[in-house]
Structure 1
Amino acid sequence: MPHFALIDAARDDAIYNLLIREPGAESLFAGTLDPELARAAPYIVELRPESPFRDALQSYGWPRAWGITCHSTAERAATRRALRRNMQAMLPSGQVGLFRFYDPRVWLPFISASQGAELDPWFDPITDYWAPHPRSGATLRISRNGATARITTEG
């Protein structure tokens, strides 16, 4: 089952230079991006065992909230399409804004408060997510447990 990272390139100047060296790394935004936007866009990248990006994420990026990771039953293109459907949110003002779910500081409070059908778009085709705890940096695993998201600490 593929393991993907959902990365916020705006979190650190080093991220983009690592991502462009990763085969198949692709922005979650559609189309050709202006170079300045590309350096700050969200990305999906498969985490391969031999990947320098994987090593950088684990050793440096995880405690600095570079993003979240997930397992999917689908390949990268289908997983990207599913996640792109969740990139907009209705703001209290009625305007539509970018939903930065790939930022663990946004993801954890959101998914913790979600229930029932609200979870459906997040767990198809994805089976599990992982995110760094905002204070301790410990790895949190988020999986679906019926009508709620189950969050457990790993390692």
Structure 2
Amino acid sequence: MDFPIQFSYTILDAARMLERMEKAKGLNSQYASLYRGRSKEDLGVVAPYLFIYQEGTSFANWLAEEGWGDFWGIYFYSTAPSSELHLHFRKFLLVQTEEGEELYFRFYDPRVLRIFLPTCNEAQLREFFGPVSYFMMEDEDPTQAIIFYLKEGQLGSYTLPVSNVETITNKDEVAETEQ
């Protein structure tokens, strides 16, 4: 499967990848753990990692061939720098239950994100998307990719056969596809 260059970021889940995270880091040095401080020390081997990459690189090819269908993470497009995205996504790592208990929120697991986004109201969607134009991840059927985007504050989505993912060339086409 080829990913278009517009999916220039991914958050990968070391807990899903296990030792393959080391291979990812070896293939692409442009990454940062979303965990900091004590969490990074204690949970680094299961942490989410933000990667920036370009299509056609060894990393992109390996990720597409080895990771798709195993729910290693989410892909997204943004024009924001990685430092801004790092800060943005760190805000969502912990959530608080109604009882006040803090829990880790695994939004970077596509099985979680594709269920979470449709439950959000407009304000929550705007906050979560922030500088992100659209997200892509495996659908329940990993032969399909699901794309989520915001249009006028409303969540839009559609699925594509994995072989058609490369047909998306920019964020405007994402919005036009739903019309």
Same fold (TM over 0.5): yes
What code does the residue aligned with 2:20 have?
A: I
The Cα of 1:20 is off from its aligned counterpart by 2.1
Deviates more, 1:76-85 or 1:42-51: 42-51
Q: Which of 5, 8, 12 is the equivalent residue of 1:3?
A: 8
Map of 2:159 onto structure 1:
153
Deviation string, structure 1 residues 11-57 (Cα, Å, up to 9, x no partner): 022431123221221101113733x7322110000122243232222
Q: Which of 77, 97, 105 is the equivalent residue of 2:103?
A: 97
Deviation string, structure 1 residues 66-104 (Cα, Å, up to 9, x no partner): 000111121111111111112121224321111110000
**Percent identity for Structure 1 against Structure 2:** 24
Is the CA contact 2:68–2:142 (under 8 Å) kept in the aligned structure 1?
A: no
Distance in 2 of aligned mates of 1:2 and 1:76: 13
Distance in 2 of aligned mates of 1:55 and 1:90: 37
Query: CA-atom RMSD, angstroms?
Result: 1.9
Distance in 2 of aligned mates of 1:93 and 1:56: 42
The Cα of 1:123 is off from its aligned counterpart by 1.9
Is the CA contact 2:12–2:50 (under 8 Å) kept in the aligned structure 1?
A: yes
Normalization by structure 1: what TM-score?
A: 0.89
Map of 1:106 onto structure 2:
112
Is the CA contact 1:4–1:45 (under 8 Å) kept in the aligned structure 2?
A: yes
Distance in 2 of aligned mates of 1:11 and 1:81: 23
What is the SS of the residue equivalent to 1:65? coil
What code does the residue aligned with 1:131 have?
A: M
Number of residue pairs aligned between Structure 1 and Structure 2: 154
Structure 1 residues 137, 96: CA separation in 2 closer, same or farther (over 3 Å shift)? Answer: farther
Is the CA contact 1:104–1:134 (under 8 Å) kept in the aligned structure 2?
A: no
Q: How does 1:2-151 map to 2 (within 5 A)?
A: 3-21=8-26, 22-31=28-37, 33-34=40-41, 37-151=43-157
Give the unaligned 5+ runs of structure 2: 1-5, 165-179
What code does the residue aligned with 1:49 have?
A: E
Distance in 2 of aligned mates of 1:126 and 1:109: 18
* Higher relative helix content: 2
Normalization by structure 2: what TM-score?
A: 0.78
